[in-house]
Amino acid sequence: MSKETIVVIGAGVIGLTTALHIQHQDPAQSILLVARDFPSDTSVNYASPWAGAHYRPVPGSSPQALRESNQAQRTYEYLKRTAEPGAGIEFIQGIEHLEAPPAECLDPQSVRDLYSHLDGFRVLSGEEVPEGVKWGVQYGTYVVNSPVYCAHLLRKFVLKGGETRRYTLADLNEAFSFGNVKTVVNCSGIGIGDPKAFIIRGQTCLVRNPVSQTITRQNKDGSWSFCIPRPLDGGTIIGGTKEPHNWDPNPSLETRERLLANASKWFPFSAESGGKFDVIRDIVGRRPAREGGMRIEAEKLASDRYIVHGYGAGGRGFELSRGVAEDITALMLGNNLLRAKASL
């Protein structure tokens, strides 16, 4: 019988990171990455290359919020240890300005729990925040040139012996047909057939104007504005919108004008910009979300086959990626679907 292969579905940041982590756990394991889209593709349904992406902690005390906070912190620490200059990751200053801060942000212990792992964290004084802002913080964080980072992950996976196949799956069970496959890892984003999965439409604008910080501003009407510089001269992402269940693939000029007008008021673009932006493109992407948060679960099928699920990250794929990959791999080890790495 041919060598057993593990199939990983999905070449977004979660799938790529998970495939690499499985590979690191057992370098001799045959792994096939099956996906509809790969880095360099530009489908509206392939969310990862469109992402901002940066890290900012998200307050909350629900099981989902606490799980995501833990995954995000592990991802932050991993990127601090391993980020390579050519990977499209840069550590810079992050700032938050909130006009209507939630209760968690007004409780000193809650704030320490949420932010203390970040380098250089401090709460900003009233004199340091713009007019109308009730609460602000600054800290060291990372920003990601998402297309570069995804290509970097894929290159590492292939160089380490991983194989790829472009294929659009209609059903998860199809993945068992790619050779001697007993384990399928479902990082498909939207889940394939999960009624709890849904998309969140996001529109942002990529401009050439440089900025040296990533700033997130919560407006009192509940909307959000942000600027995220992309390393390696990748421009700056200005955003953004969150529109659940909106399937419109077309960018709105009215939305672009609102995003750029807010950015010119609130973000520190250089004076020579004069409030004008050199627009590279409008971006519309569909974030793959799920009611109740990500599904991370090992599902046993007949004949000792397993589907290990890891999908539905919404807009936090980059932030959670390493933590999710570790949790998926731990599930696989716990179910004897992967050999434990030999200790040296």
**pLDDT digits 0-9 by tens, 2-11:** 689 999 999 9
- Rounded to 10 deg, the angle between the 317-334 and 13-25 helix axes is 40
pLDDT for 273: 66
pLDDT digits (tens, 9 = 90+) for 168-194: 999 999 999 999 999 999 999 999 999
Read off the pLDDT band of 342 (50, 70, 90): low
**pTM of the predicted structure, to 2 decimals:** 0.94
How far apart are the C-alpha atoms of 235 and 288, rounded to whole Å? 25
Q: Is the pLDDT of residue 317 over 60?
A: yes
User: For residue 32, is it left (φ>0), alpha (ψ between -120 and 50) or beta?
Assistant: beta
The predicted model gives 225-235 an average pLDDT of 94
CA 214, chain centre distance (Å)? 16
Tell me the pLDDT tens digit for each residue of 87-117. 999 999 999 999 999 888 888 888 988 899 9
The predicted pLDDT at position 344 comes to 47
Q: What is the mean pLDDT of residues 270-278?
A: 76
CA 67 from centre of chain: 15
pLDDT class of 41 with cuts at 50, 70, 90: confident
Pair 150, 48: CB distance under 8 Å? yes
pLDDT for 272: 64
